[in-house]
Amino acid sequence: MRIALSALATCLAMSLLPTSGADAESAFINQAIGAYSGHQIAVPVTPMTTGGTTPSWTPSAGVRNVTPEMAAASGGNYAGTLELGAYNKVFQAQLGAGNVSNVGIIKGYANKVGVLQAGNDLKSNIALINTQGLSVGVIQPNGSAPVNMLIARLPNGALLIKR
């Protein structure tokens, strides 16, 4: 119970943090312009051998580096986030095993979503569509029913909440 309460306090603290005005760098690489534009460069690919007869680019048995996303995965938990908008914050904490949590914010602005799953085999799906400035918290103790929630701002200004 103490762990669940401390995780809840962390969720609340994260949702109260102010948004920073810092913008992330572009994920796209700038294209070459000027003298290099329009030219194609052919790069020959020749396999290099590493002492034996096997080329260095072929799969080999050995220690592989694991991405941070895969290293953090434990107990079969999955937390997925889709954010299409600006200044949205999502915090997901899972204590237990076999938990699945999906949060989607589509065309949202300054929304905050916190999900705390403290148990085993818990499921939650939260979708916010065309919303602005909403704060949503989901707390699932062990043995809870699945949470499926859609919150959408309709074209006439009404707020649709479907559970």
Write out pLDDT tens, residues 58-83.
454 544 454 455 545 557 889 999 99
Q: Which domain holds residue 133?
A: 78-146
More confident site: 102 or 47? 102
Q: Are strands 89-95 and 112-118 parallel, antiparallel or unpaired?
A: parallel
Q: Does residue 161 lie within any of the structural domains?
A: no
Mean pLDDT of the chain: 75
Q: How confident is the model over 42-70, as a mean pLDDT?
A: 51
Residues 136, 161: Cα–Cα separation, whole Å: 12
Q: Does residue 106 lie within any of the structural domains?
A: yes
Phi-psi region of 36 (alpha: psi -120 to 50; beta: other; left: phi over 0): alpha
With 0.85 as the threshold, say if the pTM is over it: no
Q: Does residue 88 lie within any of the structural domains?
A: yes
Is the pLDDT at 36 greater than 50? The verdict is no
Total structural domains within the chain: 1
Q: Does residue 85 lie within any of the structural domains?
A: yes
Q: Which residues pair with 153 in a beta bridge?
A: 159
Per-residue pLDDT tens digits for 95-110: 999 999 999 999 999 9
The whole-number pLDDT of residue 19 equals: 52
